[in-house]
Structure formats: C-alpha cells, structure tokens
Amino acid sequence: MSGHPNGAGRRAVAVGAVAIGLAAVACEGLPNAMSPELPLWVHHPGGALQPFVLRTLSAETRAEGEPWERSRPEIDFAHRRVFVGSSDRGLYALNAVNGATLWRFETDDAVHSEPLYDGAEDALYFGSNDGALYKVRAVDGALLWRFSTNAQVTRRPVVHRGVVYVANANDTLVAIHQKSGELLWYRHRQPALGMGISGYAGPTVHGDRVYAAFSDGTVVAYEAKDGAEIWSRDLTAEVEQARSGEELRYFDIDTTPIVTPVGGDEAVVFASYEGGLFARDARTGEAKWENEAVTGVTELTLWTNPRRAPTLPEKAAAAPAPSAGGATSAASAGPPSDGAGPAPAGGSAPQRLLVAASGSTGLWAIDPETGAEKWHRDLPAGGITAATTVAGAILVGTTRYGVFLFYPLDGGVIDAIAGGASFSGNAGACGTRAYILSNQGVLFGLQVRPPPPPRRG
C-alpha cells in the first residue's frame, strides 16, 4: 500500500465551470411539506416520477469489465453538481440540472464506486477497480492524492476527524490521513475460501469506533484512532451452531453496518447473505435480535419518516422530460401489484424502518427495535439495488424491469420508469430528486412530484 500525493499519470479534463458562491447547505436543511402520509403515497397514482435528465454518459469503446454500471451518484446540493463513476474508467462531474459535463477524471480501470463529497474541503473521494482511492478537487478534478489499496475500491469512504476510512474488496480496512494521503493503519482478514457473493461491506464510523464486516462472516469493532480490536463476532459460527451444525455455503456480510438505537442502547445492524439479519450491541457485540428469514441481502438502508423533505433549487431551467424513444413513466410497468394498500388507520406511522434488498427474497421492511417484519414484497427474478430514500418514499432499481418508487409504509408501488433500462448501481438522492446510472451507461435524473393539496369543499 502506498500514498502518492499529487501523483503523475492521472489527469482531469476541465470542460466547464461551476459557481462556488453558494453556501454549503445539507439536503436535510431545505424546507418542504412532503411526508409519506400525504395523498400521493396512499393512492399510488402514476406520474410521481418525472425524468428531467436523460443523457448517455459512458463511452462504450472505453468500457472495462462486464456490461454493467455500479457507481452511485453523489450530489453536491450547494453547487448543483453530481459526481458519478463509469465503466469507461472515468469519474464525471456533471451539472445537476441538465446533466452537462463539468469535468472528467481518468483512472486505470472501471469506476464502480460510491463517491464521497466533502463540502468543508470542496473535495471528492472515490475508488476505482484499479485498487486506488483518489482525492480530487471538486471544482476542477485536479488530483490531490492517490492511495493504492491493492484491491478494488467500490464502497463509499468515510471522513471522520481528519481521517479517511475505506474498505476494499480484499477484506482490508484502511485508515488514511485526510490531508496528506499517508497510511495511518490498516487491518486485513483472510477472505473466505470458495465461492463468494459479488460485493462487500463498507466501513461505518460512529464516535470513536469503526465497524467493519468481512466475507468470512465476521463483524469487528475497532478503535478509530489506531485500529485496535474492541470486539469481534463470527456470525457464520453462530448461525451454524444455532442450526444444529448446518454448514453455510455463502458466509459473506456484504452490507455496510448501520448504527441505530435499539432498546435504549445503540446497536450495529448488518446482514449475512445466508444467515439473515442481525443487531448487535455497539459497545459489546452482544446479541440484540436476529431475523433468519431475511436472506440473500446485499444492501441495507435505514429509512426515517421525514417531517419535511427538501427540493433541489431550480434556478436554471430543467431539461424537458424525454418523450418517444426515451423513458416512460408508468405505474403498471414491472412487478405486479401484491394488493398492498395504505397503512392501516389508527396508530402512528413508523419513524424508522430497515429496508433490506435481496435479489433472491425481495424487498423487506424490518422494525429496527425488534427485528420483526413490517412488510415483505416479492420481486420478479433478477437483481435489485439498495433502497434509496427520496421525498419520503424509497427508490429501487432492478436489473430487468427499470426503477420503482415504493410506498415505505406498506411496500406498495407508487410509480415506475420503464423503457428497457436496467440498473445495478444504487441511486443517489437529495430532497425530491434522484440520480441513477443504468447498465446501458445512461444517467437518469428523476424528479419526485409532490402530491397536490387535498381539495376542500
């Protein structure tokens, strides 16, 4: 492993400019009156998803590897920019309103990563299949440093108290100095033998601890300052013992751990591919709950019930929605209805849900306090992306049937975008807008339209 500040051999091509005069504003700080209990979410009409950007991004002649795109767009709300990687070995900075290219940074392999934008530095961190983590200036893509981890970097890095934490596909967790790009410490586990599921877990930093999960089914809590191990739990051994010696074929924990309150304490939640869904005490690693029915999970999202949802500013005119030959908006496209209706009357709507995405068992909503199932939706054959929160709803891409907007309180379909597109990479969202890159290399910008106010009289 090595750090290379201002290393040669990488280039950024500036093809536009973006104003930096706006103050940094988080998505959560923007006013809007949307909530999942409004009429749109109850009646599930079509037309909730409206494309406003539809542009071919990836250059087919430069594509690396298999024909899919896995990069998750990252949104810089304050400066109206979107950052997304491509199989053509590039990381793109785009205008968030019309999709125009601002600059492109070249790496040595496909960029299937989840970038991280740091507004305090106006810098971008992202990984590449060439095994490196990059830090570039967000305004023009100039390289600040490059750190080689020796294996694919696709999961989102974390910046915490001057340190960048990143995991790679070879079961290695690395801590890097934020300013210099120099190695501080790293921890490596021997990858599981035999077949594994494509993908891996990213790191989660909470307080003075880093939580990581590995392909051998082990979850570990480390000291953030020096990587000292605090506790570890071998979920594979626990599951096999609970199931009277039944051997698991796939040990993988591919979901980035989530820290959330459980029973008055903080817990770490993660999914074992064959073992199910688990919550462990964040301090001790002791069991809180588990749900062995939720299998095949590769992505886990914590959905919270918003009191308000923000909207991306629209100073510039948005591009018109595509018509014939482009994407179409249709609530009837894709998965058939399972008869899910509105949330039952009476009682309060849930404030938090764990939404687990599985290509084999479908979409699950789980109570984070108890691990109990709130709803479960079977999906057609094929893979699905992580659930992304947008305007109080959840957005999920599929590898065969387009992208869908789900009602979070019962799992019913609100709307869908069809048109032959397939999706393997997760969506990025801010307020009522989401961006997702199709396997065909087309970037979709989607607006979730707020419901109209109820009629009176």
User: In 3-state terms, what secondary structure has residue 353?
Assistant: strand
d(CA 333, CA 330): 6
Q: Which parts of 111-256 are beta strand (E)?
A: 116-118, 123-127, 132-137, 143-148, 158-160, 163-168, 172-177, 183-188, 204-206, 209-213, 218-223, 229-234
8 Å CB contact between 157 and 112: no
Identify the DSSP state of 217: S
> Which residues are registered as beta bridge partners of 218?
234
Looking at residue 305, what is its pLDDT?
Answer: 82
Query: Which residues of the chain register pLDDT less than 70?
Result: 1-46, 62-65, 193-198, 241, 243-250, 307-349, 450-457
What is the CATH number that goes with domain 1-30+73-155? 2.40.10.480
8 Å CB contact between 315 and 384: no
The sign of the dihedral angle between the CA atoms of 179, 184, 187, 191 is positive
Looking at residue 63, what is its pLDDT?
Answer: 64
**Predicted confidence (pLDDT) per residue in 212-269, tens digit:** 999 999 999 999 999 999 999 998 778 776 766 666 666 789 999 999 999 999 999 9
Looking at residue 312, what is its pLDDT?
Answer: 45
Looking at residue 2, what is its pLDDT?
Answer: 55
Looking at residue 39, what is its pLDDT?
Answer: 40
User: Look-up: residue for tokens 């024909």?
Assistant: 67
Q: Report domain extents, the chain.
A: 1-30+73-155
As given in the structure block, the two tokens for residue 129 are: 């299949």
Looking at residue 420, what is its pLDDT?
Answer: 80
Identify the DSSP state of 402: E
8 Å CB contact between 112 and 130: no
Looking at residue 43, what is its pLDDT?
Answer: 52
As given in the structure block, the two tokens for residue 220 are: 């570990």
Specify the pTM. Answer: 0.84
DSSP letter string over 425-454? SPPEEETTEEEEE-TTSEEEEEEEPPPPPP
Element (H, E) at 238: helix 235-242
As given in the structure block, the two tokens for residue 45 are: 């009409």
- Could you give the dihedral angle defined by the CA atoms of residues 416, 257, 429 and 198, in that order, rounded to the nearest 10 degrees? -60
d(CA 109, CA 1): 18
Looking at residue 45, what is its pLDDT?
Answer: 55
